[in-house]
A and B are shown apart, each in its own frame.
Chain A
Amino acid sequence: MARYLLRRIVLLLITLLITSVVIFALTQLLPGDVARLILGREAQPQALEDLRLELGLNDPIPMQYVNWLSGFVTGDWGTSFTSGNPPIRPLVLERVGNSLLLAFYALAISIPLAIFLGVLAGLNENKWIDNVISVVSLSVVGLPEFVTGLVLINVFALGLGWFPASATAPADATFGEMLSQLTLPAITATFVLLAYVVRMTRAGMIDELKKPYVRTVTLKGLPRRQVIVKHVLRNALLPTITVIAISFGWLIGGLIVIENVFSYPGLGRLLTAAVERKDIPLLQASVMVIVFFFALANLIADLLYALLNPRIRLE
């Protein structure tokens, strides 16, 4: 197991290294002169040249990459190009915190619900309850997030007034207030996630229920509930874990639409802002952070999978 863990961590580092190359190469391809971008159209040639020297833009590109990467690894993430040139790290880390909060909240709602529905559907394969669950979860995933988001705002925020419409919390908000503000965006994200997890769980249940060991434990005289919970679920949920990990990656970096609809300061919005303003250091840093969490979630999922599956753990 220790060997397995070590191998996975080495693979994680290699993944991050490769993405860093890709990200850096892509930002190099973006049109426009960075110095001019910062100083504006009317800048003097001398000033531009000085800035290029200062930023190291005249160095060979591999050199620039090494400088950028070593800075990133040692915690020097550079400064943003936007007015005031704020340092990037605190900016990104704050957004990471916001995104993580929303992601965990959305998972806390969607995972138990999806697993429950998936198990229910799997146990009643092709019966009406299974069909209802499949149709509802699939039609919900088909709706665009801005539609569900706006509908939820109209009904629960503007209409019933249960939750605030904006997710931006004031600085002195309590944890409870923050959760209340995050409820509608979390539900919107749940709508998107639900169908995948439900279908994986359902398929896992159906596969496992057909296996001969289920008959063995039934004919041991075990009550149905124990057969399902102790024996079948334990194996049926293994493929679901991987789907959840991928969903987590999406929740961290991919909630661009939801964050905009609810004007929530997450990583997704930061990323769109960076692209719009051609703020390359900010773009590089946020993408790296997103990739890191994505890879980390997959690592955790793999470890969990191995832990629950003796056939991998004991190889």
Chain B
Amino acid sequence: MNDQPIIEAVDLCIDYRLNKRWLNAIQSVSLTINPLEIHGLVGESGSGKSTLALALMRYLAPNARIPQGRILFEGEDLIPKTTAEMREIWGSQINLVPQDALASLNPAYRIGEQIAEITRLHKGLSKPEAWDRAVEMLRRVRIADPEAVARRHPHQLSGGMQQRVTIAMALSTQPRLLILDEPTTSLDVTTEAVILDLFRDLIRDNEAAALYVSHDLGVVAQLCDRVTVMYGGEVMASTPVIEMYQRPLHPYTISLLASLPRPTEGAETRLPTIDGVAPSLAERPHGCVFAPRCPVALDKCFDEKPPLEHIRDSAGTSRLIKCHRWREIDDGTLAIATTPVQAEASAPPGQHYVLKARDLDITFEKPKLWDRITRKQKKAVHAVDDVSLSIRARSTLGLVGESGSGKTSLARIIVGLYTADDGEIELLDLPLSLDLHERSREALSELQMVFQNPNDALNPYRTVGNALARTINRLVTTDMSQAAIQRRVYELLNLVRLTPQYATRYPAELSGGEKQRVAIARAFAANPALVIADEPTSALDVSVQSVILNLLKDLRAQEGASYLFISHNLSAVSYLADWIIVMYLGHIVEEGTQEQVYNVPSHPYTEALLSAIPNPDPTVEQGEIRLDGEVPSARRIPSGCRFHTRCPRKIGAICEDETPPWRDAGDEHFIRCHIPIEELIALQQTKPDAQPQPVAQAED
């Protein structure tokens, strides 16, 4: 093997044509990927990371151009090549694993045909040979029963399976370079962990190099050898992964790492944040792109763009960096505060309960008349089954589980968007009707919701002020004058740290984080007792996520509200929640305080969820427990313990036959499992056995 890089971008620029103007999207970027290297490309939305990744394949949007630079693929410049010449390379030497697997597969063709197409084209295989090869590739990505899966269509597979198909396809021609564009972003954390293990093995087996594009620093830490950080279309730093996490030299990298919520942090802290928003394509700063948000920017940084320097730091590590002040950071004379700061003292959770819910139950898709006539045995979807919970004043109850666990259905029942089939809810000690239409205006104003996607939650044709005023009008029971409503609008904007000017803006003029702040302001319009936040940060960038989490924490202290905080991101939950409940297939499997749930003993499912979190520190190994497959369909709930089909700690027939008992682990910490508490503690304090892998490597 020689030392020639697989791919090397040199001084590469990319322009986009928008409104008849050429705007610079990627500015003088350099990137080198060596043989066998997994190179991480990290950045927030709009940083240009996906544009760059695809440009390395010389694949550009129709309105883009490359005004300067070179892309050397094994020493050969790709830029002067014609598209016809690139087709020889695409699919055979550089392959893409796309982000959204379902949308990236043609819905009309069978999985096997779509994989076979690529080997027929590049390897000249006959139809049956290519089909056999496709089945073989599906087996290599550890899909059970690959013959059957090859005959299916994309929509018949789960998200994790679809993503396996795309990697099987990309690997089937043994390319020299794989470009992976956020391939796990839309997956559950448990599925993501399994897929990442698979990527690691397959990329190594294939003796390929890979570029892994991601916004998730945890994933990159666990998978990559070297990391390039992008911001505003420029490379900020490029470093071996360990050094990047242990000794970051760029202020952006330092701030980004610091803003990640970590599972271990206490409740009385605030996350360090990066103020401001990323610059849009049209308004890139003249000097350093990061200067307007940089905590240590000098005047020089605003005037003069720093060069992308190839340096050797004081420890002798070779890095790329684009910062005027890296030397000061390197020798320790300049420190950037990264420890979480103390939060405003908030009153401890009250003794009385804001909300008590008992035995909530909901079933979807009950058999209809037609099914009864045709005697079709159609199974209903039992989404929430016998769930009870209670939330104390000024506290946060975290609700975690994979998609399909019923957590969103539960939230919607409480807020009244779904009418539960059965159960009781008490709000502030008064019974609350399950039917939204029977709830009083007071009850509605006490119970508000913040949704996952702020883009969909705001009416695009209403200004922010108008939207807030309407909510105030609807929910506040006392008559208010126009002036008083206006005053309240400004109060609310101030509450979520937006200036009064925002009242006249339309949602399209706001960034994602700003929209979510408006949504939060709206939820607080009528001083609610309980705010239900359904994945409020999962659609946002890392640097914005920390701002929103801090805001929610501050509002809890200032306004005395309680939260039901729903998330699949256990780190975010740990940052806010006092108590946590863990749901699986419509059942609660564990409940307790944050410390209790995150520590031994925990339900095997909770244990697996925690184990799957990719730690943003490459020296801390990810937990070893992996869950096979996805959450079973709520139409066919497994007998006995619902988790037995995937449980790594299953003890025997009892798990399949009997519903597990609630076990009391002390101090109101409950676990629903057949394994006695003492045994769970003993099991979980020692490392579990090696995990079963479905299929061993069959090739080579």
Instruction: Report A's interface with B, CB cutoff 8 A.
Output: 211-213, 215-223, 231, 234-235, 308-311, 314
Contact = CB atoms under 8 A, between A and B. Distances in A.
User: Would you list the 9 A-B pairs with minimal beta carbon distance, nearest first?
Assistant: A221-B91, A220-B91, A221-B90, A310-B153, A221-B87, A212-B103, A212-B104, A216-B104, A213-B106
Interface in B41-96: 57, 59, 86-92, 95-96
B87 A223 contact: yes
Nearest to A308: B108
B104 A213 contact: yes
Contacts of A219: 57, 59, 90-91, 95-96
B374 to A, nearest CB: 8
Contacts of B118: 220-221
A311 B87 contact: no
Contacts of B325: none
Given A310-B107, A314-B156, A216 B87 contact: no
- Counting chain B CB atoms within 10 Å of each CB, the highest count among A219, A223, A309 belongs to A219
A253 to B, nearest CB: 32
Nearest to A310: B153
B121 A220 contact: yes
B398 interface: no
Contacts of B107: 213, 235, 309-311
Contacts of B121: 220-222
Contacts of A309: 107-108
Q: Which of A211, A213, A218, A223 has the most CB of B within 10 A?
A: A213
Contact of B90 (A212, A220, A314): A220
B155 interface: yes
Contact of A216 (B86, B92, B105, B156): B105
B100 A212 contact: yes
Contact of A311 (B90, B99, B153): B153
A235 B86 CA distance: 26
Interface in B250-302: none
Q: Interface majority SS on A: helix, strand, loop or mixed?
A: helix
B112 interface: no
A310 B104 contact: no
A242 B689 CA distance: 58
A100 to B, nearest CB: 31
B98 A215 contact: yes
Given A220-B117, A221-B122, A310 B155 contact: yes
B122 to A, nearest CB: 6
A215 to B, nearest CB: 7
Nearest to A231: B106
Given A213-B105, A215-B96, 13 more contacts: A212-B98, A212-B103, A215-B59, A215-B98, A216-B105, A221-B90, A221-B122, A222-B117, A231-B108, A235-B107, A309-B108, A310-B155, A311-B153
29 contacts: A212-B98, A212-B100, A213-B104, A213-B107, A215-B104, A216-B105, A216-B166, A217-B106, A219-B57, A219-B96, A220-B118, A220-B121, A221-B86, A221-B87, A221-B89, A221-B91, A222-B91, A231-B106, A231-B108, A231-B109, A308-B108, A309-B108, A310-B153, A310-B155, A311-B153, A311-B155, A314-B153, A314-B155, A314-B156
Contacts of B109: 231
A296 B57 CA distance: 50
A218 B91 CA distance: 9
Contacts of B122: 221
Contacts of B95: 219
Given A220-B118, A222-B87, A235 B98 contact: no
A239 to B, nearest CB: 14
Nearest to A313: B153
Contacts of A234: 106, 108
A223 B86 CA distance: 11
A310 B108 contact: yes
A235 B108 contact: yes
Contacts of A220: 90-91, 117-118, 121, 169
A310 B98 CA distance: 22
Contacts of B105: 213, 216
Q: Of A213, A221, A310, A311, which is in contact with the most chain B CB atoms at under 10 Å from its CB?
A: A221
B181 to A, nearest CB: 10
B92 A221 contact: yes
A212 B57 CA distance: 16
Contacts of B103: 211-213
A103 B109 CA distance: 33
Interface centre among B96, B106, B121, B166 (most CB of A within 10 A): B106
Nearest to A238: B108
Contacts of B88: 221
A219 B88 CA distance: 10
A221 B58 CA distance: 12
A231 B57 CA distance: 21
Nearest to A216: B104
Nearest to A232: B106
Interface in B102-147: 103-109, 117-118, 121-122
B61 to A, nearest CB: 10
B96 A216 contact: yes
B86 to A, nearest CB: 8
Contacts of B96: 215-216, 219
Contact of B98 (A216, A221, A308): A216
Of the candidates B89, B92, B109, B169, the one having the most CB atoms from chain A within 10 angstroms of its own CB is B109
B584 to A, nearest CB: 27
Interface string B312-338: 000000000000000000000000000
Contacts of A216: 96, 98, 104-106, 166
Nearest to A217: B106
Contacts of A215: 59, 96, 98, 104
Contacts of B155: 310-311, 314
B106 A235 contact: yes
Contacts of A308: 108
Contacts of B99: 212
Contacts of B59: 215, 218-219
A147 to B, nearest CB: 40
A130 B202 CA distance: 46
A311 B156 CA distance: 8
Contacts of A212: 98-100, 103-104
